[in-house]
């Protein structure tokens, strides 16, 4: 994903333990991460995309992808409303001042009121597929979004599956 981030002038940040032993379907987890990361990079004009992973507790592990993009338009995702319901009320993570987020100067960062109107490149099919893959893996999908500020998507996976 780094070449795409570089091409778009975005800072790509990855944070997590070097080793995180879990059980699961490697291909499905990879597809979820790839889809969410690619969506974030394609829809973010300036700033950063962050990917993090960690053990939440002894039963679950967490994958998070956050961007400084335009946020998800709830109107554009109406047909997904039964599948994904972005929350807009508990976004403390967006209230914090971001770390250094651009390869260039801070003047290049657009403030929330200054973001140009952009058309999403897709129609939400990718998020629908991610949601279905999460269901197959018994994982939960949480979406937090704020128009003009960004989106945070968290996927909570089981650390172990019963035999």
Per-residue pLDDT tens over the stretch 92-104: 444 444 444 333 3
The pLDDT score that the predictor gives to residue 124 is 61
Do residues 124 and 85 touch, judged by C-beta distance below 8 A? no
Spatial CA neighbour of 86 closest among 97, 77, 98: 77
The pLDDT score that the predictor gives to residue 110 is 32
The pLDDT score that the predictor gives to residue 101 is 39
The pLDDT score that the predictor gives to residue 56 is 92
How confident is the model over 81-107, as a mean pLDDT? 43
Mean pLDDT of all residues belonging to the chain: 75
Spatial CA neighbour of 121 closest among 23, 57, 59, 39: 39
- Per-residue pLDDT band for 129 (boundaries 50, 70, 90) equals confident
Residues 6+ apart with CB under 8 A from 131: 80, 83, 84, 141
**CA gap 68, 46 in Å, rounded:** 7
- Per-residue pLDDT band for 142 (boundaries 50, 70, 90) equals confident
The pLDDT score that the predictor gives to residue 60 is 94
Tell me: pLDDT of 91 over 50.
no
Other C-beta atoms closer than 10 Å to the C-beta of 54 total 12
Do residues 37 and 48 touch, judged by C-beta distance below 8 A? no
Which of 22-26, 144-148, 149-153 shows the lowest mean pLDDT across its residues?
Answer: 144-148
How confident is the model over 125-134, as a mean pLDDT? 84
How many helices and strands in the chain, by DSSP H and E? 4, 5
Claim: this prediction has a pTM higher than 0.85: no
List % helix, strand, coil for the chain (3-state, nearest 5): 35, 25, 45
- Per-residue pLDDT band for 63 (boundaries 50, 70, 90) equals very high
């Amino acid at each position: 994903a780094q070449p795409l981030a570089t091409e778009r002038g975005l800072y790509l940040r990855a944070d997590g333990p070097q080793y995180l032993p879990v059980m699961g379907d490697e291909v499905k987890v990879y597809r979820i991460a790839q889809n969410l990361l690619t969506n974030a990079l394609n829809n973010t004009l300036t700033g950063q995309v962050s990917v993090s992973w960690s053990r939440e507790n002894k039963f679950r592990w967490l994958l998070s992808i956050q961007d400084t993009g335009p946020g998800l338009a709830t109107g554009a995702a109406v047909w997904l409303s039964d599948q994904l319901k972005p929350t807009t009320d508990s976004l403390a993570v967006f209230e914090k001042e971001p770390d250094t987020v651009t390869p260039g100067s801070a003047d290049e960062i657009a403030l929330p009121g200054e973001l140009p109107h952009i058309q999403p490149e897709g129609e939400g099919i990718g998020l629908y597929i991610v949601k279905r893959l999460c269901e197959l893996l018994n994982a939960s999908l949480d979406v937090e979004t704020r128009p003009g500020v960004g989106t945070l998507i968290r996927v909570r996976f089981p650390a172990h599956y019963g035999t």
